[in-house]
């Protein structure tokens, strides 16, 4: 083989190799979600808050499960009960994988949402849903870390106030990594699909 033929052979081999790499890269499909993919976000990575039993919880407690975390309050008239009802339906529709889902509810109204209130509230949707009850200072710090909005809106009496708050859910994979931001009203089928993807089922 002369030098020219050798060079042509080498060039051809390199082209085939490059084509192979290109085809390989194209075949690696990125996971597709209905919710907003925020994988790699540098916020809302963890928390340290007491549950209704007074036990301090962190994301590490739920490793191995997909976690859906929502901020709300027990006297919320619409968004909160709707979201919790949908999450109970999502868990049911996941079938055998329902046990791999953990729903967390962080109250933005710790003054009224006592442990007793939150146990009853979670129990109305699913006894395995966990309520987290921060102190006012912890709430402020956690809301800031999660980029969540909340504000007290005065009512006719001192105890009849309401709370404006963000209505989306944060979704974590079984390794405890923040992956998705699900806007309110996304719907049960959308959530089920995304959680099945995260759970690899």
- CA 166 – CA 161 distance, rounded (Å): 17
Name the strand (E) or helix (H) holding 86. Answer: helix 79-93
What pLDDT, on a 0 to 100 scale, did the predictor assign at position 87?
Answer: 98
Quick one: what percent of the chain has pLDDT higher than 90?
81
What pLDDT, on a 0 to 100 scale, did the predictor assign at position 159?
Answer: 87
pLDDT digits (tens, 9 = 90+) for 21-67: 444 444 445 678 999 999 999 999 999 999 999 999 999 999 999 99
pLDDT digits (tens, 9 = 90+) for 123-139: 999 999 999 999 999 99
What pLDDT, on a 0 to 100 scale, did the predictor assign at position 9?
Answer: 44
Q: What is the pTM of this model?
A: 0.84
Q: Mention every residue, 6+ apart, whose C-beta is less than 8 A from residue 197.
A: 31, 32, 33
- Find the Cα–Cα–Cα–Cα dihedral 30, 83, 73, 168, rounded to 10°: 30
Q: Where are the domains of the chain?
A: 1-29, 36-199
CA contacts within 13 A on the Cβ side of 199: 22
Q: Which comes out higher in pLDDT, residue 171 or 13?
A: 171
Q: What does the pLDDT average to over 164-189?
A: 96
Q: What is the CATH number of domain 36-199?
A: 3.40.30.10
What pLDDT, on a 0 to 100 scale, did the predictor assign at position 177?
Answer: 97
């Amino acid at each position: 083989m002369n030098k020219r033929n050798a060079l042509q052979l080498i060039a051809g081999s390199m082209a085939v190799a490059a084509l192979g790499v290109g085809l390989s890269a194209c075949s690696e499909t990125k996971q597709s979600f209905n919710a907003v993919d925020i994988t790699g976000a540098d916020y809302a990575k963890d928390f340290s808050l007491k549950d209704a039993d007074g036990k301090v919880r962190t994301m590490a407690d739920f490793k191995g499960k997909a976690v859906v975390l929502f901020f709300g309050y027990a006297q919320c008239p619409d968004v909160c009960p709707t979201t919790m009802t949908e999450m109970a339906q999502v868990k049911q529709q996941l079938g055998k994988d329902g046990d791999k889902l953990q729903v967390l509810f962080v109250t933005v109204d710790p003054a009224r949402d006592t442990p007793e209130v939150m146990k009853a509230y979670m129990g109305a949707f699913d006894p395995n849903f966990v309520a987290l009850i921060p102190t006012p200072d912890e709430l402020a710090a956690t809301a800031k870390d999660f980029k969540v909005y909340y504000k007290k809106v005065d009512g006719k009496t001192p105890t009849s106030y309401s709370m404006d708050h963000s209505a989306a859910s944060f979704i974590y994979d079984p390794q405890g990594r923040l992956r998705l931001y699900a806007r309110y009203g996304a719907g049960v089928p959308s959530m089920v699909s995304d959680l099945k993807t995260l759970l690899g089922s």
